[in-house]
């Protein structure tokens, strides 16, 4: 049975340009043992393995993510200027925790706070 894995292809700035499905890194086919190197050579790009469960390189890579060599992690684009990177998870966090009251909120960068979403029709509106 063929085991699959996912690989992120990076541009010269370590930005993910594509995520592909390939062979598991433990699988040896002929003389191919290093699948990151193999897929990178085919595409002419740096290639790094990624995983859905975050066991490899903290976060599953997506197009536009950055691969940080020092942290050996994929980091999503920063969603808002006020958000800060959690060094442990390599995920962006709001400066104010998301409310835990069952209401749906959206981040308001101008207020640097969560604002409740009000559903007055089929299209949600943000409460002032």
> 62-115 pLDDT, tens per residue?
999 999 999 999 999 999 999 999 999 999 999 999 999 999 999 999 999 999
pTM of model > 0.85: no
Provide the residue ranges of all domains of the chain, joining segments of one domain with +: 4-78, 94-128
48, 46, 44, 40: which is closest to 5 by C-alpha? 48
Q: For residue 25, is pLDDT > 80?
A: no
Span of 53-62, 66-75, 116-125 with lowest mean pLDDT: 116-125
Token couple for 57:
């390189």
Residue in this structure with the two tokens 């541009």, named with its chain if needed: 11
Mean pLDDT along residues 13-28 = 85
């Amino acid at each position: 049975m063929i085991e699959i894995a996912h690989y992120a292809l990076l541009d010269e700035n370590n930005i993910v340009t594509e995520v592909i499905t390939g062979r598991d890194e433990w699988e040896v086919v002929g003389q191919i043992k290093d699948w990151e190197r193999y897929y990178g050579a085919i595409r002419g790009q740096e290639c790094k393995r990624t995983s859905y469960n975050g066991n490899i390189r903290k976060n599953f890579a997506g197009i536009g993510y950055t691969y940080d060599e020092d942290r050996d992690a994929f980091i999503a684009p920063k969603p808002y200027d006020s958000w800060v990177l959690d060094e442990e998870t390599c995920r962006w966090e709001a400066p104010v925790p998301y409310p835990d009251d069952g209401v749906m909120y959206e981040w308001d960068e101008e207020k640097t706070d969560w604002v409740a979403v009000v559903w007055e029709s089929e299209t949600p509106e943000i409460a002032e």
